[in-house]
Amino acid sequence: MVIVGMLLLVSSAEAHVQHGGAVGFTTGFCHPWSGWDHILAMVAVGVWGVQLGRPAIWLLPVTFPVIMSIGGFLGLVGCPLPGTEIGIGLSALLLGSMVAAEARPPLWLAVIMVGIFGLYHGHAHGTELPPNEDGLSYSIGFVIATGCLHGVGITLGLVHHWKAGAVALRIAGTVIALAGVIFTWRAIG
């Protein structure tokens, strides 16, 4: 319900800072919260992890930040990754679909899927960050915020233990997938 409520506030998918300086921890912490495409994808990872149960409940949220940081590294050093925005849009679409369908693919497949999407999200962040004089504080804030978003997803996913909660999660997954369609459409257009 919270996700649905938040989605009603959607304006445009502006995930990345467009100008200004990355000024350390606060900027790094706020960055992952700055775009609905990122927020929904990361929350969906946490929710999906809960649906899949152990060990996915912690393995997926661990995979995403680590691979995302690799994507961020590639973006920071200028290594191109084609179709980044499309990949981000597809991440919300597919991860939302997984939640909506309560899909249970093999664990390795779920990890690879989350990892690939994490790479795209990280690359987008890394590419668009302005030069920063304090990369360490920024990185700390960025990683902690990403973990918090997964934590939000896991916390929301706990309602999965109730029948009505499981239905609500599937509805939320559908909404995320629909938002992913919009993000992808905009990225293609």
The token pair that represents 20 in the structure block: 């200004």
The four Cα atoms 108, 165, 65, 174 give a dihedral, to 10 degrees, of 80
For the CB of residue 6, give the shortest distance to another protein in the complex, in Å. 24
Question: Using alpha carbons only, what angle is made at residue 40 by residues 136 and 179, rounded to the nearest 5 degrees?
Answer: 140
Question: Using alpha carbons only, what angle is made at residue 181 by residues 176 and 183, rounded to the nearest 5 degrees?
Answer: 90
Identify the DSSP state of 185: H
Q: Is 20 in the site for another protein (CB under 8 A)?
A: no
Q: Is 26 in the site for another protein (CB under 8 A)?
A: yes
Q: Is 119 in the site for another protein (CB under 8 A)?
A: no
Q: Is 148 in the site for another protein (CB under 8 A)?
A: no
CA distance 16 to 31: 7
Please give the C-alpha separations between residue 164 and each of 1, 49, 171, in angstroms, as whole numbers: 11, 18, 11
Identified binder of another protein from the candidate list 80, 106, 131, 189, rule CB under 8 A: 131
Q: Is 49 in the site for another protein (CB under 8 A)?
A: no
* Range list of H helices, the chain: 2-7, 25-30, 36-52, 56-76, 84-101, 107-128, 135-157, 163-188
Identified binder of another protein from the candidate list 5, 20, 78, 106, rule CB under 8 A: 78
Identified binder of another protein from the candidate list 30, 62, 152, 181, rule CB under 8 A: 62
For the CB of residue 21, give the shortest distance to another protein in the complex, in Å. 13
- Please count the residues of this chain forming the interface with another protein, following the rule CB under 8 A: 34
Q: Which stretch binds another protein (CB under 8 A): 1-9, 22-30, 88-96, 162-170?
A: 22-30
Q: Is 139 in the site for another protein (CB under 8 A)?
A: yes
Q: Report the interface residues with another protein, using CB under 8 A.
A: 24-26, 58, 61-62, 65-66, 68-70, 72-78, 126, 131-132, 134-144, 146-147
